Amino acid sequence: MGESNWPQAEPYRIKVVEPIRRLSRSEREQALDRAGLNPFLLKSDEVFIDLLTDSGTGAMSDNQWAGMMVGDESYAGSRNYYNLEKAVRDIFGYPFFLPTHQGRGAENVLFPLLIEKNKYVPGNMHFDTTKAHIEMAGGRGVNLVRQEAYDLNSEYPFKGDMDIEALVNFIEEKGKEQISFILMTITCNSGGGQPVSLGNMQKVREIANKYALPLFLDAARFSENAYFVKKREQGQAEKSIGEIIREFFCLADGCTISAKKDGLVNIGGLLAFAEGQEELFQQARERLVPLEGFVTYGGLAGRDMEAMARGLYEVQEEAYLAQRVGQVERLGKKLIAAGVPIQKPVGGHAVFVDGKTWLSHIPQEQFPSQALSIELYLESGVRAVEVGTILAGRHPETGENIMPDLDLLRLTVPRRTYTDNHMDFVVEAFRRLDARREKIKGVRFAYEPKILRHFTARFARA
């Protein structure tokens, strides 16, 4: 067998545990009724295994917790700020950096500096809050990801890649003066945690140069992306994760990062700029103070910045990444073996179940993946989140429900938090649901909020 072929054991041991409890079936029914059949409105104590998000839900290491104890809570000039600045310089190669309270804080500081009214921000696929911030700044977000991204069964290894031809056509058609900047999201969360290849990023850089457009990274899952590049992209296997990360960031003018993902912290974010972007950095610095806080804390405690500085190094360890990405892939493979249709290949942080196909007897108007999230919770106490028709909302002009091609249920795996036994429990929940799958009913709105309806909507069975 040699050195390979070992089972994927977690490269850590557990020093602190947090008890979780599964409510009884009747307690789960009552909890879900109180929540208006919307798992988002459950109390976390009512949830057994929580796969709502991988954002801020991970476990910190002993080294990060030790860092929390050396927090310097000075209002200005905290030593932890300087440690974080060093980490950003070492890891991304960026000399200019600002801490923010989370990813959307960085977006809120940066976007109004780059966006002019009604101008476009093309990207592979924008995350929801990112799109909202583009629109709040007066711009228009456009998704130009490769077509394979919309085909759940395509095994294309870099489904987060930008469609280069579409990008060029878009810029030519609108005129480069109508474009504010280009944004690449790594990994592409809304496209299923699918990676972007280094080759694609290089091509996007060439186009940005040709049309003199700024290019930014939305890099919440930068290390998971680098791991996929190392494993899947020709010619990249010999490079270290750190080298691949550096190459990506060298190709951009700056980045926004939600450190709640690959920063391995529960709260935090950052905004950073490459060499040559000093002027933009100065402008961002000025905006940071009223929006997030003074330039050396940006909405964070000193201890939070220290934990982030340490997390940004830890997340690049290959043994960690192999287990992290491997755990998500293993969950996906077991679901496939149980006959559950999912997006392929499995993404970095989540498995996306094709609710519309699995529950094909439920019309899309009755929100199949929402119905699935409800039944999954009732069956097992597992919480997941719909990424489909509810999330898509209504057409701004016609007021009709938008019917996206994909109606999915996201099983998002927090980092270093659950074991493979928890994942097996999730698979067993789907097996049990399969036995009564055809009897699962759709849902309708009992209360529908006007904006961001998925968070607070209430439902009734159709």
What amino acid positions are annotated as catalytic residues? 75, 127-128, 218, 220, 261, 454
Enumerate the β-bridge partners of residue 121: 141
Judged by the rule CB under 6 A, the positions of this chain that interact with ligand F0G are 53, 55, 102-104, 127, 129-130, 185, 189, 218, 220, 258, 260, 269
Q: For ligand F0G, give the closer residue by CB, 38 or 433.
A: 38
Q: How far apart are CA 181 and CA 139, in angstroms?
A: 10
Q: For ligand F0G, give the closer residue by CB, 110 or 220.
A: 220
Q: Rounded to the nearest whole angstrom, what is the least distance from the CB of residue 411 to ligand F0G in the complex?
A: 12
Q: Which helix (H) or strand (E) holds 290?
A: helix 278-291
Q: For ligand F0G, give the closer residue by CB, 327 or 362.
A: 327
Q: Rounded to the nearest whole angstrom, what is the least distance from the CB of residue 107 to ligand F0G in the complex?
A: 7
Q: Rounded to the nearest whole angstrom, what is the least distance from the CB of residue 163 to ligand F0G in the complex?
A: 19
Backbone angles phi, psi at 438, to 5 degrees: -70, -15
Q: What single letter denotes the amino acid at residue 125?
A: M
Q: For ligand F0G, give the closer residue by CB, 332 or 348.
A: 348
Q: Rounded to the nearest whole angstrom, what is the least distance from the CB of residue 308 to ligand F0G in the complex?
A: 12
Q: Is 323 helix (H, G, I), strand (E, B) or coil?
A: helix
Q: For ligand F0G, give the closer residue by CB, 129 or 178.
A: 129
Distances (CA, A) of 447 to 38, 402, 443, 456: 11, 18, 12, 9
Strand ranges in 127-181 using DSSP code E only, listed in sequence order? 140-143
Q: For ligand F0G, give the closer residue by CB, 46 or 292.
A: 292
Distances (CA, A) of 414 to 52, 327, 422: 9, 11, 12
Q: Is 349 helix (H, G, I), strand (E, B) or coil?
A: coil
Question: What residues have CB less than 8 Å from 17, skipping those under 6 apart?
Answer: none
CB atoms within 10 A of CB 155: 9
CB 94 within 8 A of CB 256: no
Q: For ligand F0G, give the closer residue by CB, 55 or 343.
A: 55
Q: Rounded to the nearest whole angstrom, what is the least distance from the CB of residue 436 to ligand F0G in the complex?
A: 29
Q: Is 228 helix (H, G, I), strand (E, B) or coil?
A: helix
State the residue number with the nearest CB to ligand F0G.
103
CB 386 within 8 A of CB 370: yes
Q: Rounded to the nearest whole angstrom, what is the least distance from the CB of residue 129 to ligand F0G in the complex?
A: 5
What b/e sequence results for 196-226 when a residue is b if at least 16 CB atoms lie within 10 Å of its CB, and e otherwise?
bbbebbebbbebbeebebbbbbbbbbbbbbb
DSSP string, 75-106: SSS-HHHHHHHHHHHHHH--SEEEEESSHHHH
Q: How far apart are CA 300 and CA 295, in angstroms?
A: 10
Q: For ligand F0G, give the closer residue by CB, 103 or 122.
A: 103
Q: Rounded to the nearest whole angstrom, what is the least distance from the CB of residue 232 to ligand F0G in the complex?
A: 20
CA 227 to chain CA mean position, Å: 16
Q: Rounded to the nearest whole angstrom, what is the least distance from the CB of residue 110 to ligand F0G in the complex?
A: 12
CB 443 within 8 A of CB 461: yes
Distances (CA, A) of 211 to 167, 278, 313, 346, 426: 11, 21, 35, 35, 48
Nearest CA to 325 out of 425, 415, 246 is that of 415
